[in-house]
Amino acid sequence: MATIDIDLYSDTQTRPTAAMRDAMASAPVGDEQRGEDPTTNRLCEMVADMLGKEAAVFMPSGTMCNQIAILVHCRPGDEIVADRTAHIINSEGGGPAVFAGVMLKPVDGVRGIFTAEQAQEAIRRARRHAPRTRMIEIEQTANSGGGSIWPLETIRSVGAVAKEHGLIFHMDGARLLNAVVASGVPARDFAEPFDSLWLDLSKGLGCPVGAVLAGSADFIEQAWQWKQRMGGAMRQSGSIAAAGVHALEHHVDRMAEDHENAQFFAEAIANLPGIRVEPDRIETNMVFFDVSQTGLTAAELHQRLLDRGVRIGENDQYRMRVVTHLDVTRDQIAKAAEAVREVVLEASHAA
Ligand SMILES: *Cc1c(COP(=O)(O)O)cnc(C)c1O
């Protein structure tokens, strides 16, 4: 395999910084399952406080946060309303069907974002024949939607529909803090209408592992039981939770740089022959682009870029995704854009 010098595959590709490793090495630890790990407790308090929720629990991954939230809130046969591009629909191995036994009702949002009217339409009338609509789920930012930000007003109006119908409102906040940094809306305001939400530590925050799920004290108590059942309860987890504490203190504001880098990359490739950047406006740290008019498939472009030491994800047959993060500099972003230019021009000359 060619060495990858510039990895834009995902913001999960970061390595812990030296300062983060120091924080991890020196963290006070105890038994997490017994509530005796001081660093994990601190991380959970920080996140609960930031989100304005009563309690929080440390999880190995964001996927486990989603699956456990669904397990707590739903019963088999219930239905969850979510955007068609949602991670819980497309990227969690059918977990909602496997664990909670629930149905998923995809809604066709724009860039991963749907309206209160669409949510309203998706809710089923109570009938013996129909599954029971139980939850509305949204993603902040909407990953496959383009790293797009759910506006606070839209969240509030969809949340009002959930409330009116007695439904649970859940946020997959894998990149909530990207939305916070880009929009200036406090995390607490975004979080307010939700019964449960979580944020990922291993994405733009740059931690090696972990996510934190938050909600009411009662919800978190039930989530803890599922965590125990599923083997997610840990021991001296402070060693990894310390990375999260460090990231919340040092890596949040800097995500603005990632957003500027995404914008820079989008502009650098926007006018290349056959490339269509979608959408024109880059909101956070992701750039999706269509390559169908270059004469190459995403897989071919992916491989030719790899040969030049640049990794860019192939999202679809003709769709590629760049994600910026703290392990790529502006200079590397410029080099990556240059590599795309070379490959695309070569292909257009060959045609
Ligand atoms: C990455 C991601 C997840 C899953 O998080 P993991 O920590 O990888 O399990 C869920 N939702 C979205 C939108 C994501 O991007």
Is the CB of 332 inside a 6 Å radius of any atom of ligand 1? no
Helix axes 38-51, 238-250, angle to 10 degrees: 40
Instruction: Name the packing angle between helices 330-350 and 298-306 (round to 10°).
Output: 120
pLDDT (mean) for 211-231: 98
What's 150's DSSP letter? P
* Phi, psi (deg, nearest 5) at residue 262: -65, -45
Q: Residue 113 contacts by C-beta under 8 Å, 6 or more apart in sequence?
A: 83, 138, 142, 145, 148, 150, 151, 154
The residues pairing with 288 across neighbouring beta strands, listed in sequence order, are 278, 321
Q: What is the pLDDT of residue 224?
A: 98
Read off the pLDDT band of 282 (50, 70, 90).
Answer: very high
Determine whether the shortest distance from the Cβ of 61 to ligand 1 is under 6 A.
yes
Say yes or no: CB of residue 144 within 6 Å of ligand 1.
Answer: no
- pLDDT tens digit sequence for 142-177: 999 999 999 999 999 999 999 999 999 999 999 999
pTM, entire model: 0.97
Q: 251 and 14 in contact (C-beta within 8 Å)?
A: no
Residue 1's pLDDT band (cuts 50, 70, 90): low
**Among the listed residues 127, 126, 137, the one whose alpha carbon sits nearest the alpha carbon of residue 100:** 137
Q: Which atom in ligand 1 lies closest to the alpha carbon of residue 202?
A: 7
Question: From the CA of 200, how far away is ligand 1's center (Å)?
Answer: 7
Look at residue 280 in the predicted model and tell me its pLDDT. 67
Pocket test for ligand 1, best of 87, 137, 139, 227 (most atoms within 8 A of CB): 87
d(CA 212, CA 229): 18
Peptide bond into 154 cis (omega under 30): no
- 13 CA from centroid of ligand 1 (Å): 13
Fold for domain 254-350? Aspartate Aminotransferase, domain 1 (3.90.1150)
Q: pLDDT digits over 284-299, tens only?
A: 999 999 999 999 999 9
Q: What is the tens place of the pLDDT at every residue in 56-104? A: 999 999 999 999 999 999 999 999 999 999 999 999 999 999 999 999 9
Domain with CATH 3.90.1150.10 in the chain: 254-350
- What pLDDT does 278 receive? 82
CATH, domain 18-250, list 3.40.50.720, 2.60.40.730, 3.40.640.10, 3.40.50.620: 3.40.640.10
Q: For the chain, give every residue range classified as CATH 3.40.640.10.
A: 18-250
